[in-house]
Structure 1
Amino acid sequence: MSSEVDHSTIEEMFGGRSVACPCCQNTLTPAMLLQLWQEMQALQADQSAFARLPAGSGARLIDPHAHMIARTTDDYEAMAKAGIVAVIEPAFWLGQARTNVGSFIDYFSTITGFERFRAGQFGIRHYCAIGLNPKEANNRALADAVLDVLPRYLAKEGVVALGEIGFDEQTAEEERALRAQIELAKEFDLPIMIHTPHRDKKQGTSRTMDVLESCGFDPARCVIDHNNEETLEEVLARGYWCAFTIYPSTKMGNERLAAIVEKHGPQRIIVDSACDWGVSDPLAVAKSARLMAARGIPAEVIAQVCYSNALAVYGLNGEMCEAHWTNPSPIDQRTLYGGNSVLRGQAPRIDPAQPDVIV
């Protein structure tokens, strides 16, 4: 049947005959049949567009902002199946304020240690960013204690940036912590991931960039995250990487992102999910890629905003590179971390060892 089907075609085909729904046996009207046909055509177009993405059955994707400590192993498995090869977990708050520096130490140790192991056991390469979040920077005594311990984590394996840092309520204490951490990023030669505030976002984003520039930080080494249509033009004009969080009901939606990429192109634009302990979607990057493909955005553009741009900036310190997932170590879920495994009664996944390459 041709893809050009309308109501009159359905009427002509079925005339006065009725068609029963195979599920409920109720009568399907010509209008219902037309709607089903149109939905089937849309699904086929979406599948065809998704197949045009690079890397065979699906694109290689990176989610460069994902709070995986709050997610389940099901999420890791689904992300790997959707083509996500790597995630970056930025340090942030846990839903309530921490009361002592030991809580931060344990948290930083988890995202640089066990979480890195757990992700790898489900086929995802895990990196992280370390920093004092702006929401907890207003407790000066605690903030100072955290700033004192940050250097011990900034040089750890798998740390690709300092972040996420920036403003929340845009207080003097937040700016003080921001400036101190910008200096640490310069000392440790790390890129910076910026959290922009939920309230007065445009003003807070501009103020953040003013502070970065007053500290002499190179915008090409800094990702400004959680952007929207109000902030993106200034962020791009001032030379920063411009990241968009695809977060249900807030921040940025898939359709809006696709429109932004269509208008502005892929240069210095990055897509992430910021999935966390709230209502959020760990497949947001994959779904954005699929939607952009369905809208006819070229595969190379999708690959740039959903993969290579993130790799370019977060790979600057050498801790993140493609070989980590193009030539990975085989997964063996019998492996232990601190005496513990990811197994909870399931049969362990044991990938065969890769044959040695003879040159």
Structure 2
Amino acid sequence: MQFIDPHVHMVSRTTDDYEAMRAAGVVALIEPAFWLGQPRTEVGSFKDYFSTLVGWERFRSSQFGIRHYCTMGLNSKEANNEPLAEAVMELLPLYATKEGVVAIGEIGYDDQTAAEDKYFRLQIELALELDLPILIHTPHRDKKNGTYRSMDVLEEHGCDPTKVIIDHCNEETAQEVLDRGYWTAFTIYPGTKMGNERMVDLMKHYGPERIIVDSSADWGISDPLSVPKTAALMLERGIPEEDVRLVTYGNALAAYGQSGQMKESDWTDAPDIDRSQLFSGNSVLRNGRKTERSETESDNVIEN
């Protein structure tokens, strides 16, 4: 089977992860803009990060046979620094219209402050202006109320639920999200949030309609192979292959394909990997290598 991981933060992952994902069948991924573990203090750090998502990381992914897309947004945690948030909002229209940007996100609430609400609403309006899908981050604390509040705000702004992906859903929130007509995404983390055993149970209960599975792998304890591993467990537990394909491939393509930036031919008709290519003078190769890694060679790292 082939897979799309529609929520994975590859800027914090290694080339080994790219190789493992491609070997497991991942053909495309979406990297949402998010926070970096500690607050950024200057708008220039956002500019460089956004540039990395549409530039170097897109190139790096292609060097392992995976098509890379991204979403652009000011995350809810950093929305609480209002002077910085105002400056980031000036940048977003420029980056949101770059090639390969498939949504505004991930946006929403963290502590559900007034500042988070303000910039959530501003970014909803930006998505509507650009006719882009929206990726919603639901809060880790007070998730139920935060998820319901997010949908209430989206509806206040007249958003079409079929163009909104509500992520980090769980058993407490899934039914309401589905009932309101949104794409309902589940983050599969090892040992926390939504594990793949729980995801199998949810699939048996709800079926595949508007359900999306992702890894959200980042700089913390997480697994960039969560999507193929969950698919394997679903098949083992008797879920039909077509249903598994929908939640690990087809639904993500349908949801984010509404951007006009993502289509299946992007990877089915992709050229062969050419690692002689450079990005701003940089390659993923090391020690003069021109071919795939051999057992006697060291791990891939970046060099000039």
1:331–1:349 Cα contact (<8 Å) kept: no
User: How much has 1:314 moved relative to structure 2?
Assistant: 0.4
1:276 equivalent in structure 2: 218
2:295 equivalent in structure 1: none
Matched, 1:120 2:74: no
2:157 equivalent in structure 1: 215
Separation of aligned partners in 1, 2:180 and 2:192: 25
Separation of aligned partners in 2, 1:158 and 1:232: 29
User: How much has 1:348 moved relative to structure 2?
Assistant: 2.4
1:356 equivalent in structure 2: none
Which residue of the other structure, out of 81, 85, 97, is the alignment partner of 2:27?
85
Separation of aligned partners in 1, 2:290 and 2:150: 47
Distance 1:278 1:346, change over 3 A: farther
Matched, 1:171 2:113: yes
1:337 equivalent in structure 2: 279
Separation of aligned partners in 1, 2:123 and 2:251: 24
Separation of aligned partners in 2, 1:193 and 1:223: 5
User: How much has 1:349 moved relative to structure 2?
Assistant: 3.4
Distance 1:98 1:258, change over 3 A: same
Matched, 1:241 2:174: no
Q: Residue by residue, what CA displacement relative to the aligned partner does 1:277-325 show, whole Å, maximum 9, x if unpaired? A: 0010000000000000000100000000000000001011211111011
Q: Residue by residue, what CA displacement relative to the aligned partner does 1:21-70 show, whole Å, maximum 9, x if unpaired? A: xxxxxxxxxxxxxxxxxxxxxxxxxxxxxxxxxxxxxx110000000000
Q: Residue by residue, what CA displacement relative to the aligned partner does 1:60-85 show, whole Å, maximum 9, x if unpaired? A: 10000000000000000000000000
Matched, 1:293 2:248: no
Q: Which amino acid aligns with 2:92?
A: L
1:94 equivalent in structure 2: 36
2:81 equivalent in structure 1: 139
How much identity, in percent, do the aligned residues show?
64
1:72 equivalent in structure 2: 14
1:152 equivalent in structure 2: 94
Separation of aligned partners in 2, 1:324 and 1:347: 27
1:54 equivalent in structure 2: none
Separation of aligned partners in 2, 1:344 and 1:111: 22
Say which SS state the counterpart of residue 103 (structure 2) adopts: strand
2:145 equivalent in structure 1: 203
Distance 1:233 1:107, change over 3 A: same
User: How much has 1:346 moved relative to structure 2?
Assistant: 6.1
Q: Which amino acid aligns with 2:248?
A: C
1:332–1:348 Cα contact (<8 Å) kept: no
Separation of aligned partners in 1, 2:145 and 2:33: 24
TM-score for both structures, normalised by structure 2? 0.95
1:168–1:197 Cα contact (<8 Å) kept: yes
Matched, 1:310 2:252: yes
TM-score for both structures, normalised by structure 1? 0.80
CA RMSD of the aligned region, Å?
A: 0.8
Separation of aligned partners in 2, 1:201 and 1:301: 27
Structure 1 residue runs of 5 or longer lacking an equivalent are 1-58, 351-359
Which residue of the other structure, out of 87, 98, 105, is the alignment partner of 2:47?
105
Q: Which amino acid aligns with 1:311?
A: L
2:302 equivalent in structure 1: none
Which residue of the other structure, out of 162, 167, 171, is the alignment partner of 1:229?
171
User: How much has 1:249 moved relative to structure 2?
Assistant: 1.8
Say which SS state the counterpart of residue 77 (structure 2) adopts: helix
2:296 equivalent in structure 1: none
Q: Residue by residue, what CA displacement relative to the aligned partner does 1:311-342 show, whole Å, maximum 9, x if unpaired? A: 00101121111101111111111100001111
Separation of aligned partners in 2, 1:227 and 1:322: 26
Q: Which amino acid aligns with 1:308?
A: G
Separation of aligned partners in 2, 1:342 and 1:195: 31
- From the CA coordinates, give the structure whose radius of gyration is larger: 1
Separation of aligned partners in 2, 1:299 and 1:318: 27
Q: Which amino acid aligns with 1:239?
A: G
Separation of aligned partners in 1, 2:274 and 2:20: 18
